[in-house]
Amino acid sequence: MKLPAALRHVVDFALPPRCAGCGLPVAEDHRFCAPCWSSLRFLGPPWCAACNVPFAFDRGDGACCADCLRDPPRHAGVRAAVAYGPVARALALRLKYGGRIAFAETMALRMRRLLPAETELLVAVPLHRWRLWSRGFNQAGLIADALVRLGAVPHDRDVLTRSRRTMILRGLGGRQRAKAVAGAFAIEAPDRVRGRAVVLVDDIYTSGATADACTRVLLRAGARSVTILCWARVLSGHEDA
């Protein structure tokens, strides 16, 4: 419900919009103060044609990074709004553990520019039912819902499930993460993803173990392609997410 203008002014005076990064007052909701905004590294081309890791310079159409040349990924790219850093991390933690669910829209507003034009379905990386019960929400699902409200394609909330509870992945290496999530995901109704260009939504992309496990089951169920879309991506040298 939209507040009357007079009442809105009172609310804004008593509870001014805050910077999503540090909490300082700003002009509008979902905005950042100047220092936080300038510290964010927004990602985009030039990047690897396979995994979308950013390049320092344009290498030409179709250029791939060394990792993708050696081991091409199953997914159709990892599109992240920003590089993982202090402000991106603070926002993710305030959403995930602080219950600041409005920040899902803050993230989605910066992610929607990277949504592939051919996208037909959004699928969020799921939580196990016990973790969902304890937290009360799935942060990736909230981001996907916000993307829908911003005019994106539909979000299927329960076609991808986490059938096995896994340990907390923070602090684990890539191989340990891959082992922890192996076989942890399942598709409830393959016909809902079969032949469709799927975008897998998450908050942080770290080693890629979780996204790869989800991509594997989506493709096995018949998805035409799977692109990962996230708020922040951990780049080399910042593997502490």
Partnered with residue 7 across adjacent β-strands are: none
Average pLDDT, the chain: 87
Q: Rounded to the nearest 10 degrees, how much is the dihedral formed by the CA atoms of 158, 164, 168, 174?
A: -100
Give me the pLDDT at residue 12, please: 47
**pLDDT-derived band at 236, boundaries 50, 70, 90:** confident
Q: Dig out the tokens for 113 from the structure.
A: 């520019």
Most confident range (mean pLDDT) of 11-15, 71-75, 159-163 is 71-75
The model's pLDDT over 22-52, given as tens digits with 9 standing for 90+, comes to 989 999 999 999 999 999 999 999 999 999 9
Beta strands in 170-224 (DSSP E): 185-187, 197-205
Q: Which amino acid is at 214?
A: C
207 pLDDT higher than 90: no
pTM of the predicted model as reported, rounded to 2 decimal places: 0.87
Contact in structure between 80 and 143 (CB atoms under 8 Å): no
Structure-token pair, residue 145: 């819902």
Distance CA 25, CA 85 (A): 21
CA 238 vs. chain centroid, Å, equals: 17
